[in-house]
Amino acid sequence: MRNGRVTLKQAAQWCGGTVAPEYAGLAFSGANFDSRLLQPNELFVAIVRERDGHDYARAAMEQGAAAVLASKPLDPAIPAIYVDDTVKALQEIARSYRLTLHAKTVGVTGSVGKTTTKGMIASVLQTALVTQRTEKNYNNDIGLPVTLLGLDENCGAAVLEMGMNHFGEISLLTRIAQPDIAVITNVGTMHIEHLGSREGILKAKLEILEGLRPGGLAIFNGDNDLLSTVVQRYHALTFGLGRQNTVYAEQITEGEEHTDFTAVGFGKRIPVTLPMVGEHNVVNALAAVTVGLCFGLNPEQIREGLRNYHSHGMRQNLYDRDGLHIIEDCYNAGPESMRAAFRLLARAKGRRIAVLGGMLELGEYAPQEHYLIGKEAAGAADLLFAYGQHSEQYVRGALEKGIQYARKFDTQEELTAALQAALLPGDTVLFKGSRGMKMERVLQNLDTREIGGKENG
């Protein structure tokens, strides 16, 4: 049970705020910036952005908030901590609260795979420790502090995802979280529009080490071309498919819905059955194995954690629907994750169909990257349905490589109608695109019940 753990007086001291004497002894447990999602006894953080959170302070109190973190005057009857900037104050409160906990924290970042890797690490650690992790997309300057303040006093391990678009963002997050272990899954091309080059992305990802606690460990994907160049500089442990890594994989065999492999490292050989397919997921799992071994877990605990892992949200969910085989991977997309999805699609029997939205935040590299991904799509798919900015380059690349069919659509409605008409029972369909493309809407609006009556021939 989560009892009040931080008094308003203590929180005010941590963030340089003020609180009325009559409210100083009140305590809160956790924090939230959305009055609709607020849990009883949490601190409501009134953030001024598109909407002014102060307008919802009374509603938050009616929902059971313990108090409000505010930068504007409120009704004196509302318990509040007053600060100049509620976001910065939230961050300072979270940073100080983290120092009161005994939990070890694992920070995870990377161009792709960080959410899956975070989940696998948490699944492994929770076999031995009370483990909490970043939920939803709470991996930014507001979400991460909220996650930290939601950690229970008996938490033994916290796995925290750290996202970014610009320089300095991970530096801020890691200084708040102060991880004991920092994991970088890879360095690709996501967010290259803002960071200029892959070398810029490497620099931004390495910011995670700035908040590493004394004696903390760095764990890198040693197969990544850029990360491998800085392994020695940061005395990092490595994971990957190559035998040069601290932890690597042997005897990889893929079934229809699972992958078997042996993880080798730390003088141990650990047979693993992963309820997912794709070598990229083996690499993600190796990161979890490495963290588990660093925590002192035994091979059976690590095996159990990975065996029981299941993905969340819209990340590479595989299922059947009205005679179709669906690969729903709509959470986000960049060149690296596109290629991983194609490897999965290429394994399918029957007709293979790629429904692709555009890849965002590639800047001047966007046309060329879309063209190259289109060419690779032709190696995995028989039909390509494209939507979004630069998706005509998907089509150009795919047609040059000889795909049977490729077409760009200006609206999702047009795409959905064309896809509906083309689908046949037994088809495998991949839905993927950047988050802003909302490709899950195509899947949601597809009437797959009509597919079953068609002849596949």
| Higher per-residue pLDDT: 448 or 126 | 126
Residue with tokens 């029997």: 349
Residue 457 has pLDDT above 50, yes or no: no
Retrieve residue 427's tokens.
């088809």
Helix (H) or strand (E) holding 321: strand 317-321
Angstrom CA distances, 294 to 104, 122, 211, 286, stand at 12, 14, 19, 12
Percent of the chain with pLDDT over 70: 96
Residue 2 has pLDDT above 50, yes or no: no
pLDDT band at 107 (very low <50, low <70, confident <90, very high): very high
What per-residue confidence (pLDDT) applies to 313?
A: 54
Residue 315: CB atoms within 10 A of its CB come to 16
Q: In what order do the strands lie in the sheet with 317-321?
A: 317-321, 324-329, 428-432, 352-357, 383-387, 405-409
For the purposes of burial, counting CB atoms within 10 Å of the CB of 16, is it exposed (0-12), middle (13-18) or buried (19 or more)? exposed
Q: What is the mean pLDDT of residues 55-73?
A: 96
The DSSP bridge pattern shows strands 428-432 and 27-28 to be unpaired
Residue 39 has pLDDT above 60, yes or no: yes
- Residue 177 in contact with residue 104, Cβ under 8 Å? no
Least confident of 29-38, 188-197, 200-209, 279-288: 188-197
Residue 105 has pLDDT above 50, yes or no: yes
- Residue 163 in contact with residue 109, Cβ under 8 Å? yes
Q: What is the mean pLDDT of residues 201-218?
A: 96
What per-residue confidence (pLDDT) applies to 186?
A: 92
Residue 447 has pLDDT above 50, yes or no: yes
Residues contacting residue 320 through CB under 8 Å, at least 6 positions apart: 326
- Residue 454 in contact with residue 423, Cβ under 8 Å? yes
What per-residue confidence (pLDDT) applies to 106?
A: 98
Q: CA 109, CA 181: separation in Å to the nearest integer?
A: 11
Coil, strand, or helix at residue 359?
coil
Domains and CATH numbers, the chain: 6-84 (3.40.1390.10), 101-307 (3.40.1190.10), 317-453 (3.90.190.20)
pLDDT single digits (tens) 260-298: 999 999 999 999 999 888 888 999 999 999 999 999 999
Give CA angle at 203 (200, 207), nearest 5°: 140
What per-residue confidence (pLDDT) applies to 451?
A: 67
